[in-house]
Structures are given as C-alpha cells and as structure tokens.
Structure 1
Amino acid sequence: MLETGVVAAVVAWLCRRAVLSAGRTLAASLSVPEDAEGVVDAAADAVARSLAGDTAYEQLQREAGDPEREEPSELTRRRVALAVEDAVGADPELAAVIDAAYTRWRAARGAGSVTATEGGVAAGGDVSVTASGAGAIAVGGSASGPVTSNAPAAPAEPGGGATGTPPAPGPQPS
C-alpha cells in the first residue's frame, strides 16, 4: 500500500498526463521538474494502463479536457486515488514503479520555501515555512517544539504584571 502523499502525487501525475494529452496548458500545481519528467511520465503511463476502463480515470480525462476547468475536480481526484490504491494492491510491480518515480520526483523537487510577511498567509507541501512581522507565526507540517511569535511583549502593568493584551497601534501615552 502506498502512503497518502505518494497516492496524491500519482493522481497529480495522471492529471498532468490527461491535461497534456488534451493539448491544454498545465496549471503550476501539475508541473514536474524537467529532470524527473521521464520517470514520472513512465509511471503515469503504467498507472494509466492499469486504470484503463476505470470510470473514475475516464472522468478525470474528460475533466482534464474541459476548457472550463483549470484541473479535474477534487471528487474525481479522490475517486482516482482509490482506483490507484486498488491497482497497486493488485500489482506489486506497479507499486515498485510508482515508488521509484516518487523518490526521483521528490529528489528533483527538493525542499521548497514559502514565506509570508505583513499579514500574509504561507502554505505548501514539503516546504520550509517562515513568517515575519509583528505577531507572525508559520507552521509547516507537524510542529515539533514550541511555536512562538515575534509580536511585541505585552506592556507591564503597574505593580509588575502584564496586561495580557498587546499595545494598540500608533503612538502610546506615557
């Protein structure tokens, strides 16, 4: 059985294959690094042969050819993911082809980086996430260890306690 991330990548490869077959322009989310294209295309072809006649895969191909859509729907992707899992369960050689392609694809992609500043939001897959600006917090994947903010500390109340709320923007009375 393939891990969820691997299955999602295979579905994206199948979407990419279908979009290209339909003569359409790829969305950025379906791009594959040039040095991994050969192995990814070979794996997508092997999976496509395995899914020949599958209604979910046929729907994915129809949606990929639809000029009104940027990409196939999430529902269709989920259905194709289930079909991929079934195909891999029935064919260990297919699983090996997919694993090899996934390993090569990940190596070609490398670790990405997403940054949010000044009220922005950052998100991504296998990425290193950073944030900057008052109160900015970025968490990528599973957070192990503390999650901290670089927001200004709350001002001290007379008598040594903190107010518990950050200062209002702008000049502060003294």
Structure 2
Amino acid sequence: MPERLVSTTCLGNLNDPSYELLLRRKLGGVFEVDDLLLDWDQADVYAFVGVTELGRTVDVRLDTADGGRLADGDVLAIDRSGMVPVAVVVRLRSAEVYLVEVDRMDPIALAHSCWEIGNMHAPLFRGDSDEHTVRMYTPVQPVLGRMLRGVEGVRLSLVTRELDADRRFASSAAEVVVSMAPDFTIVKKARG
C-alpha cells in the first residue's frame, strides 16, 4: 500500500456505467474499490486528507476552478501498487435531517419555514413533493428544530437520508418560481 495517494482532479464517476466500462478497459478488466466515506458537507471541501475504508491515505487537492462538489461514486485516485489496481471512490454517508412538510395551500407556512431555515444559514434540499405537500430537507440543528416546530402548518420529522447536491437550493439563484393564486389578496387593516 502506498504511503499517500494524491488527487488533484476527479477522474470520473463509478455510478456512470460508461465510465465504469472505460475504467475496466484502462485497468485491464479487473479492479477493486476502496471507499472514502464523506459526510454531505465534506463534499464541498476542495482540500483535505482522508483515510479510506482499507486504510489508504488520500491527499485531496481539487482545483477550485472546476466549481463542482464531490458526488457519490467519484473516483479520486487509482492505486496501482498491488497486484490488482484499486480505485479510491467517494461514498457519501446518509445524514440525519429534518423532513419539513408544508401543505401547498399554505404559502404563509411555507414562507415562514423557509425564512427560519435561511435565517439559520442552513442548507435546504428539495424533497419529493406531490400535488398536496411541499417536502424539503435540512440538516439537524436543535435550535432550528424548535423554531420550525413553532410554525403553524409545518410538519417536522427526523429522517436519515442522503443529501443530493443537485437538489440543493442555491443561495445565489432560486431554481423555482413561486406564484400565488390569482384570487390571493393581502389585506392590511388600518388602526383606528
């Protein structure tokens, strides 16, 4: 086993069947996989040292110009020091998160819950919503949990799930359009 592997770029993603086939051809048909387990928030870090499941030390120094984050299945390095080549592959751990559910017909509860999450600077991930319910995920923070439990119309539960970067709401640009019903009005009562 080499003393330390260095990764400066992601070589491909093993979850992509075409890349797996390409890697098999490149490595002579057979290779083993050594998983580098990362928490969801470690996937955004460009420089770190990690230890794989089989004890390999990997010095990761990714180019920040790529702008991407690590994804489950990313191949960071190939260790050719043994009889069989070994691909070092990123595996993202599941995280304990809050499942925030809000009725689509309650835009005030939706806005209030999103404001509370944003006010805590917590990341927010789109869930599998349906025609009646908006579902979102955010990592567990006890204070945030207490705040969300206080919002009328919000159902909060604790679940374990993988957080997919492609479903994360970006703070720089919203990826959804919120619209109100044509008959929705806000009435401000005068004090008198």
Fold in common (TM above 0.5): no
TM-score (norm 2): 0.20
RCO (CA 8 Å, sep 6+): is it higher in 1 or 2?
2
- Higher fraction of helix: 1
- Higher fraction of strand: 2
